[in-house]
């Protein structure tokens, strides 16, 4: 630490042996200012100094001087952070007089500042931080050392309204700390104790809240508006957990509706309180009459609101618009809360139910996205409920089909069906409006994008889960349920909207590509929901209108929009296509036309739709249809060159994948022939390339011929796509190109190795080198995909090609050149696809590859480990795929691991430990999964395997797992970390490792390691932790909670061993003794006949 550029020595800020004065506070102000506005070196210095100040155990003693003297808000915040750090981590080791001093100082400061209304308003953020500090003290002291905290704070609230407002905020913070965040910051026993205390003393808090609200209602203007708002806000948070008697056995709901709904300044907070009441679920059945009255009161208030307000507020000025947006958001939550949690009771009140639903429809039309999502979620749930009730009543009626029983009384099933029909008729207008809204606002479905990634691999990338995709799924389900409830209504609305888009006079007055997209997405979303005949009629009308619209529109862009919607809709209705061959054939040829359209996006949409239809209707293409001279798949190769002539390489691959799916539906005996027919076009190109190579004979010319490299890459990729769809039937096709393919792989490898040896790793960026690497990767992916698909049981049986035969035919010429090339290349030239290929070989051909595991470790694992162990960032693809390989070996070639030389087995274990410590969550999780599976498989195997292993590795594994479990970097892996710890301790507890890690030795080791590593813990805490690890080893949920509590304890310095932890320590010892005695009692005679412990097991009575 240097003081360059500072007017003082920063070491003065670390001296707390003498009281601070104003000059030292000025130094602190200067240092904090540098932290936020200095240059990089100044910020670094300031960070070092301030960190040392904060971690100094005596720094809190200067806080009062800093708060009283400093002129900088940032410095005051830092001082409160120092104080908060002491309270949360070192409170238990402070002497009582110091704790009392801090507590009194903070309390008096809070009272002084919050009682001054002007200060509380101007220094709002500082006061909030001060309140947080007080709440941290309360969590430490209350209730055992500060029993009167709740009565004191509530009593003082009636003396000053500004003070009262701040006190309510403190109580609100305390509630949140206990009920919302307590689990992550406090041990479970402490949380339970604080919850009990707050519940037992809540009457005083509730009395204060009602006092404020009733004072306002009885004497308007006597209570500050901000105090009323704070009271309502605080009350809404309390309503989540308070006893139901406070809600339903008092006049709380009536007070809210009568006095706080109408005034705009209180309306939103009032609705939040009512929403919490509406969402109450557990135990509310006994208060149904009161809940119904509350619902009725809410609906009456809503009926007084302007009808068109949800749509009209869009044109209001800013503040008013925000108010109505928030209000309608809360009303949506309120109404859906009532209906979701108490549907049956609310449905019985049809005079109130219908207005509530009608207002929800109006709110659904609002432009606010969050409000719309709330409504959609409700409509999805509500339509599903009505649909399921209808199905149940239909089934009940069919089981009791006679309308009248012998005594003339209608049967239960018949009555239920009639009631359900009446309910559907009642809700029909509501559902009609909901259909209109959802169709109009339908969001875009998730896209599957086919693209080439950075390594040249063709990938199908689905959109990640986003809010929009979640919304689409909800809207789709809602529309499907609404279609089931009334398909004719859905059909009528959609066709009517489509007719509006397809104006007969051909004008563009109402033409809206966006609206057409929404409509097409909605039409596609209800596929399969109609009866087949209805769906046929509906879809024919839709396609006819869309085709006429396409003819009507002028301009490529407009036509492309309509064409993309036609392709999307058609692709969503495979059932219709399967049932109508001529229409399907017409659609396919239309797609072939679109494949020649050069407008951006149209070709991709065409091949994507072709792929989807091929996957869903593949059998239709391989059988000869009526009036056809041959099957479609036989016809396709004759026009192949024409159909793909204008497609890009990426789209050609998708095209062939689609045709591959068709072939996969053919008779197994015909598939090999069909693959040959299909691939004849590219086989000719392959032969021409080979002739060209043999005539030139020069590696140099080959390496510089970039077009040839691109052609080779495309041929390999097309083969890979065909293999992915057809599988084992491609074995002859692959065998025909296999020898030359491996030769080209070797030529590319040698060229790259020679070039890097001469010119260094920078040549990796050269275009010809990148193309050659693509060829290598495409080769590896082709073999990987073939093995992955062909070695599956069903494929192997259909094509009579067992995995052993695949291994015998394809492995010997492959492994040696690939492994040797990987090891000999510079790290930058090693292809991660080798790791992918080996993982698939290990999984699919485990018996054949097990004998090669030693060679794989020698030639791949060791050098990959050297590549990635130097840091946590370089070679990210190799990292992930490396652990996929280790996982595959662990799963499928487990026994082979124990035939490895000692140094390679150690490398395997070290690799897993290193992964567990990795900073990248994906790698760390992979390491944890493999390690957990490895330990589990070991412990379920024979003792002669796992005992020698654990003799060497048990304590190292235990220490490393404890390390990542207790640091702060690997929190995301907690579940697996504690599970591995449980596996190890459980094995010791069950006596499986007595020869490798005896229980007593493990307990002593844990006690020693934890004691050395965590100075914040005292001996009793460590002893309790170690004992309970073994006591709870048979109860995984309790073990997990025990570990979670221990991690929270690590952040606190603890003292007072006897008073705080002695009871827990005695309980842990007693549990341990009981378990030992229980085990000993299983062995007759082991426990002496007159040993007192026999009494606990009922063995001392003379019966």
Is the separation of the CB atoms in 1017 and 1049 below 8 Å? yes
Distance separating alpha carbons of residues 495 and 505, to the nearest angstrom:
17
Quick one: pLDDT band at residue 90, thresholds 50, 70, 90?
A: confident
Distance separating alpha carbons of residues 153 and 160, to the nearest angstrom:
12
Best-predicted range by mean pLDDT (380-394, 979-993, 1041-1055): 979-993
Quick one: pLDDT band at residue 1052, thresholds 50, 70, 90?
A: low
Q: Would you state the pLDDT for residue 1099? A: 54
- Token pair belonging to 126: 């500082």
Angle at CA of residue 610, ends 606 and 468, nearest 5°: 70
In tens, the pLDDT along 919-939 reads 888 888 999 999 999 999 999
Q: How high is the mean pLDDT of the chain?
A: 87
Lowest mean pLDDT among 253-267, 374-388, 665-679, 696-710: 696-710
Q: Would you state the pLDDT for residue 421? A: 86
Q: Which residue has the tokens 């200012």?
A: 33
Q: Would you state the pLDDT for residue 1074? A: 73
Q: Would you state the pLDDT for residue 1064? A: 55
Helix, strand and coil percent figures for the chain, each rounded to 5: 80, 0, 20
Q: Would you state the pLDDT for residue 501? A: 67
Q: Would you state the pLDDT for residue 109? A: 93
Output phi, psi for 421, to 5 deg: -60, -40
Q: How many residues does the chain have?
A: 1103
Burial class (CB in 10 A: 0-12, 13-18, 19+), 144: exposed
In this prediction, residues 400-416 reach a mean pLDDT of 51
Q: Would you state the pLDDT for residue 1056? A: 36
Spell out the residues 6+ positions from residue 641 whose beta carbon is closer than 8 angstroms to its own. 681
Q: What is the percent of the chain where pLDDT is above 90? A: 58
Distance separating alpha carbons of residues 437 and 895, to the nearest angstrom:
61
Q: What is the percent of the chain where pLDDT is above 70? A: 90
- Token pair belonging to 565: 């919607």
Q: Could you tell me which residues are beta bridge partners of residue 459?
A: 451
In this prediction, residues 381-390 reach a mean pLDDT of 92
Neighbours of 4 (CB within 10 A): 7
Q: Would you state the pLDDT for residue 455? A: 58
- Number of helical H runs and strand E runs in the chain: 55, 2
Q: Would you state the pLDDT for residue 938? A: 93
836 cis-preceded (ω within 30 degrees of 0)? no
Q: Would you state the pLDDT for residue 1080? A: 54
pTM of the model: 0.81
Q: What is the DSSP string of 916-954?
A: HT-SSHHHHHHHHHHHHHHHHHHHTS-HHHHHHHHHHHH
In tens, the pLDDT along 849-894 reads 999 999 999 999 999 998 988 888 888 889 999 999 999 999 999 9
Distance separating alpha carbons of residues 897 and 937, to the nearest angstrom:
12
In this prediction, residues 673-696 reach a mean pLDDT of 92
In tens, the pLDDT along 456-483 reads 555 555 656 678 889 999 999 999 999 9
In tens, the pLDDT along 763-783 reads 888 999 999 999 999 999 999
- Token pair belonging to 400: 């009791």
Residue 171 host element (H or E): helix 161-179
Distance separating alpha carbons of residues 319 and 426, to the nearest angstrom:
39
What's the Rg (C-alpha) of the chain? 37
**Which of 951, 947, 962 has the alpha carbon at shortest distance from 1007?**
962
User: Is residue 1070 pLDDT above 50, yes or no?
Assistant: yes
Distance separating alpha carbons of residues 209 and 217, to the nearest angstrom:
13
Q: Would you state the pLDDT for residue 342? A: 86
Lowest mean pLDDT among 96-105, 545-554, 1045-1054: 1045-1054
In tens, the pLDDT along 345-357 reads 888 888 999 999 9
Lowest mean pLDDT among 264-273, 363-372, 1085-1094: 1085-1094
User: Is residue 344 pLDDT above 50, yes or no?
Assistant: yes
**Which of 574, 566, 668 has the alpha carbon at shortest distance from 617?**
574
Distance separating alpha carbons of residues 726 and 636, to the nearest angstrom:
16
Q: Would you state the pLDDT for residue 503? A: 52
User: Is residue 411 pLDDT above 60, yes or no?
Assistant: no
Q: SS3 for 442?
A: coil
Distance separating alpha carbons of residues 616 and 658, to the nearest angstrom:
10
Quick one: pLDDT band at residue 410, thresholds 50, 70, 90?
A: very low
User: Is residue 81 pLDDT above 60, yes or no?
Assistant: yes
- Token pair belonging to 579: 């049932």
In tens, the pLDDT along 61-78 reads 999 999 999 989 999 999
In tens, the pLDDT along 136-187 reads 999 889 988 899 999 999 999 989 999 999 999 999 999 998 888 777 777 7
Is the separation of the CB atoms in 1029 and 1066 below 8 Å? no
- Token pair belonging to 728: 């084992």
Q: SS3 for 996?
A: coil
């Amino acid at each position: 630490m240097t003081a360059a550029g500072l007017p003082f020595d920063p070491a003065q800020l670390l001296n707390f042996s003498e009281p601070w004065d104003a000059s030292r506070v000025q130094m602190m102000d200067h240092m904090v200012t540098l932290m936020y506005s200095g240059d990089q070196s100044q910020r670094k210095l300031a960070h070092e100094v301030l960190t040392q100040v904060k971690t100094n155990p005596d720094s809190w003693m200067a806080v009062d001087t800093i708060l009283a003297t400093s002129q900088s808000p940032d410095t005051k915040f830092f001082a409160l952070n120092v104080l908060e750090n002491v309270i949360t981590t070192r409170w238990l080791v402070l002497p009582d007089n110091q704790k009392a001093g801090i507590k009194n100082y903070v309390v008096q400061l809070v009272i002084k500042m919050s009682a001054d209304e002007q200060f509380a308003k101007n220094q709002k953020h500082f006061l909030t931080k001060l309140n947080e500090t007080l709440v941290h003290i309360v969590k430490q002291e209350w209730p055992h050392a500060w029993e009167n905290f709740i009565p004191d704070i509530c009593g003082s609230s009636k003396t000053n309204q500004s003070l009262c407002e701040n006190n309510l905020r403190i109580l609100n913070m305390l509630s949140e700390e206990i009920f919302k965040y307590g689990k992550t910051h406090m041990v479970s026993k402490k949380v339970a104790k604080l919850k009990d205390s707050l519940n037992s003393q809540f009457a005083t808090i509730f009395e204060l809240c009602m006092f404020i609200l009733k004072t306002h209602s009885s004497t308007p203007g006597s209570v500050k508006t901000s105090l009323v708002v704070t009271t309502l806000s605080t009350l809404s948070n309390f309503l989540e957990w308070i006893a139901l008697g406070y809600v339903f056995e008092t006049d709380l709901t009536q007070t809210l509706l009568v006095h706080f709904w109408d005034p705009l300044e209180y309306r939103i907070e009032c609705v939040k309180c009512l929403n919490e009441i509406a969402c109450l679920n557990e135990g509310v059945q006994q208060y149904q009459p009161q809940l119904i009255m509350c619902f009725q009161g809410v609906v009456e208030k809503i009926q007084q609101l302007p009808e068109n307000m949800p749509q009209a507020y869009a044109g209001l000025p800013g503040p008013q618009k925000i108010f109505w947006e928030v209000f309608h958001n809360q009303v949506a939550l309120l109404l859906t809360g009532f209906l979701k949690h108490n549907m049956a009771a609310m449905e019985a009140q049809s005079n109130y139910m219908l207005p509530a639903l009608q207002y929800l429809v109006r709110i659904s039309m609002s432009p606010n996205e969050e409000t719309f999502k709330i409504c959609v979620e409700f409509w999805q749930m509500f339509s599903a409920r009505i649909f399921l009730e209808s199905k149940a009543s239909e089934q009940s009626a069919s089981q009791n089909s006679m309308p009248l029983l012998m005594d003339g009384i209608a049967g239960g099933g018949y009555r239920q069906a009639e009631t359900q029909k009446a309910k559907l008729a009642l809700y029909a207008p509501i559902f009609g409006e909901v259909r209109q809204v959802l169709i109009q606002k339908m969001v875009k479905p998730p896209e599957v994008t086919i693209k080439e990634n950075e390594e040249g691999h063709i990938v199908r990338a689905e959109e990640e889960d986003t809010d929009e995709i979640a919304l689409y799924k909800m809207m789709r389900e809602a529309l499907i349920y609404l279609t089931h409830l009334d398909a004719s209504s859905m059909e009528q609305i959609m066709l009517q909207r489509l007719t509006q888009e397809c104006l007969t006079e051909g004008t563009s007055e109402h033409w809206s590509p966006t609206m057409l997209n929404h409509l097409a997405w909605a039409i596609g979303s209800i596929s399969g929901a109609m009866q087949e005949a209805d769906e046929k009629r509906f879809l024919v009308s839709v396609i006819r209108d869309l085709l006429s619209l396409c003819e009507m529109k002028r301009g490529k862009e407009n036509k492309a929009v309509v064409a993309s919607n036609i392709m999307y809709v058609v692709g969503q209705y495979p059932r219709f296509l399967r049932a109508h061959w001529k229409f399907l054939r017409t659609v396919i040829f239309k797609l072939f036309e679109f494949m020649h359209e050069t407008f951006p996006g149209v070709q991709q949409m065409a091949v994507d739709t072709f792929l989807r239809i091929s996957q869903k209707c593949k059998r239709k293409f391989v059988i000869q249809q009526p009036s056809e001279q041959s099957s479609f798949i036989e016809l396709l190769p004759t026009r192949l060159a024409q159909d793909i002539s204008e497609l890009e390489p990426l789209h050609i691959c998708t095209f062939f994948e689609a045709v591959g799916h068709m072939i996969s539906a053919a008779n197994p005996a015909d598939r090999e022939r069909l693959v040959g027919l299909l691939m004849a076009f590219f086989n000719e190109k392959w032969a021409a390339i080979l002739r060209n190579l043999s005539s030139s004979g020069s590696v140099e010319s080959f390496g510089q011929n970039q077009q040839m490299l691109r052609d080779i890459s495309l041929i390999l990729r097309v083969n890979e796509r065909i293999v992915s769809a057809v599988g084992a039937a491609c074995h002859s096709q692959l065998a025909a190109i296999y020898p030359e393919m491996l030769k080209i792989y070797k030529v590319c490898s040698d060229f790259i190795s020679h070039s890097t040896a001469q010119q260094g790793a920078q040549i990796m960026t050269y275009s010809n080198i990148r193309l050659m690497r693509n060829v290598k990767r495409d080769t590896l992916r082709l073999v990987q995909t073939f093995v992955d698909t062909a070695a599956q049981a069903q494929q192997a049986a259909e094509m009579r090609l067992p995995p052993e035969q695949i291994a015998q035919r394809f492995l010997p010429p492959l492994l040696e050149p690939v492994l040797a090339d990987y090891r000999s290349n510079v790290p930058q030239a090693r292809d991660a696809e080798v790791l992918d290929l080996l993982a698939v070989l290990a999984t699919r051909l485990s018996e054949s590859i097990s004998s090669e595991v030693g060679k794989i470790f020698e030639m791949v694992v060791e050098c990959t480990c050297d590549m990635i162990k130097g840091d946590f960032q370089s070679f990210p693809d190799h990292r992930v795929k490396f652990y996929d390989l280790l996982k595959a070996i662990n799963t499928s070639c487990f026994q082979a691991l124990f035939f490895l030389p000692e140094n390679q087995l150690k490398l395997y274990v070290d690799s897993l430990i290193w992964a567990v410590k990795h900073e990248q969550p994906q790698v760390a999780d992979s390491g944890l999964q493999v390690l957990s599976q490895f330990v589990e498989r070991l412990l379920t195997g024979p003792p002669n395997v796992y005992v020698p292993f654990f003799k060497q590795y048990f304590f190292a594994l235990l220490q490393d797992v404890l390390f990542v479990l207790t640091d702060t970097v690997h929190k995301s892996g907690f579940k697996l970390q504690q599970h591995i710890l449980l596996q190890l301790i459980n094995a010791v507890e069950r006596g499986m490792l007595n020869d490798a890690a005896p229980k007593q030795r493990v307990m002593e080791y844990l006690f020693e390691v934890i004691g050395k590593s965590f100075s914040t813990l005292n001996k009793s805490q460590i002893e309790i932790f170690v004992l309970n690890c073994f006591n709870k080893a048979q109860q995984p949920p309790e073990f997990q909670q025990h570990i979670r509590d221990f991690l929270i304890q690590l952040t606190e310095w603890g003292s007072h061993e006897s008073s705080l932890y002695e009871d827990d320590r005695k309980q842990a010892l007693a549990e341990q003794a009981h378990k030992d005695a229980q085990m000993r009692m299983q062995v007759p005679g082991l426990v002496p006949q007159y040993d007192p412990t026999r009494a606990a097991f009922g063995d001392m009575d003379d019966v």
